[in-house]
Amino acid sequence: MLGYILRRLLATIPVLVIVAVLVFLMLRLTPGDPAAVIAGDNATTEQIGLIRNRLGLDKPILTQFLIWAGNLAQGQLGESFFFKKPIGELIAGRIEPTLALAFATMLIAICVAIPLGVLAAYKHGSWIDRIVMGFSVLGFSVPVFVIGYALIYVFAITLGWFPVQGYQPLSGGFGGFLQRLVLPAVTLSVIYIALIARMTRASVLEVLSEDYIRTARAKGQVERKILFRHALKNAAVPIVTVVGIGIALLIGGVVVTESVFAIPGLGRLTVDAVLARDYPTIQAVILLFSGVYVGINLLIDLAYSLFDPRIRY
């Protein structure tokens, strides 16, 4: 097991290197000049040139990459062009809202989707099954921002149950923190409920046709025990996989949801950095997201051994 973990960790290094090179080149080769954005619309060519020189953007691309890679190897993410702060400080200040939103989203999705998927499999072909599958199709079809604006209109503007936008840190009080987190988390969880419920239904439905399920029923075991102790446990590997994929896909959903609800997290930071052509911030955030994605995939692989005893490392 330890050898497997070390091999997987070493395998992540080339992936992150390739991501770093591609992101660096894409940012440098796409149209737009950070110096012009910083200088403003009325800036002269000389003023823009001075800013480019101060930021090191007048150096060859290879030189810029080597400087950035050298700083990164020393654990230095650099300083933001636009925010004028160390990027590590920016990320540290924005990570709590993103983690809170991601955790709440997956908690809602798992707690709702897995029972729904098991119920749909148990009631296969019934009206309950059709409703769950219809919701899954709807969850995949409707964009996140449409769901967000609909929930804002109904529950924030019309009913007044929740704030329209904004975020309150946990240190400011749990009530306000939870009140401002409910709508964004529900908005973002819809697509993951659809994804996990659909996979749970398919996996449990396949397991329910196995001989050991019929044997358990013949022994007179309670149906609830059969569903959750036997069927769900043996169907867990694909469900764990799709949950892990869902966590990785949160990256894109967080960007949109944080923009809709004006949450000052990493997603919103990414949007602001892209609009400002803030190269160092974009590179650092994408590398962070890539590292999280790779780490989640490693955890999924390790989780297989907990659910499938046939797997050996």
User: 89-307 domain in CATH 1.10.3720.10?
Assistant: yes
pLDDT on residue 79: 80
- What was the pLDDT predicted at 304? 61
Question: Which range, of 69-83, 160-174, 175-189, 240-254, averages the lowest pLDDT?
Answer: 240-254
Q: Is 70 exceeded by the pLDDT of residue 306?
A: no
Tokens of 81: 């062009």
pLDDT-derived band at 295 (thresholds 50, 70, 90) equals: confident
Reading the block at residue 178, the tokens are 């939870």
Question: Residue 291 has what pLDDT?
Answer: 79
CA-wise closest residue to 81 among 275, 228, 303, 265: 275
pLDDT of 69 higher than 70: yes
pTM: 0.78
Q: Give, in order, the Cα–Cα distances in Å from 221 to each of 75, 119, 139, 208.
A: 57, 18, 35, 14
Supply the pLDDT for residue 113.
87
Structure tokens at 70: 């050298």
Q: Is the pLDDT confidence value at 126 over 80?
A: yes
CA 54 distance to own-chain centroid: 35
Distance CA 255, CA 269 (A): 9
Mean pLDDT, to the nearest integer, of 54-61? Answer: 78
Over 80: is that where the pLDDT of 299 sits? no
213 vs 49, 220, 307, CA distance in Å?
73, 11, 17
Distances (CA, A) of 281 to 4, 80, 83, 156: 33, 6, 9, 33
The long-range contacts involving 5-13, CB below 8 angstroms and separated by at least 24 positions, are 5/298, 5/302, 8/298, 8/301, 9/298, 12/291, 12/294, 12/295, 12/298
* Domain parsing of the chain, residue ranges: 1-87, 89-307
Q: Is the per-residue pLDDT at 13 higher than 70?
A: yes
Confidence of residue 124 (pLDDT cuts 50, 70, 90): confident
Please compute the mean of the pLDDT values over residues 92-110 and round it to a whole number.
Answer: 87
Ramachandran quadrant class, 99 (left: phi over 0; alpha: psi -120 to 50; beta: rest): alpha
Please state, for a pLDDT cut of 70, what percent of the chain lies above it: 84
Q: Give the pLDDT of residue 177.
A: 85
> Which pLDDT score, from 0 to 100, does residue 312 have?
52
How would residue 198 be classed by pLDDT, with cut points 50, 70 and 90? confident
Among the listed residues 274, 270, 276, the one whose alpha carbon sits nearest the alpha carbon of residue 250: 270
pLDDT at 276: 78
Q: Give the mean pLDDT of 248-260.
A: 76
- DSSP lists the bridge partners of residue 79 as 86
The secondary element (H helix, E strand) that includes residue 63 is helix 61-73
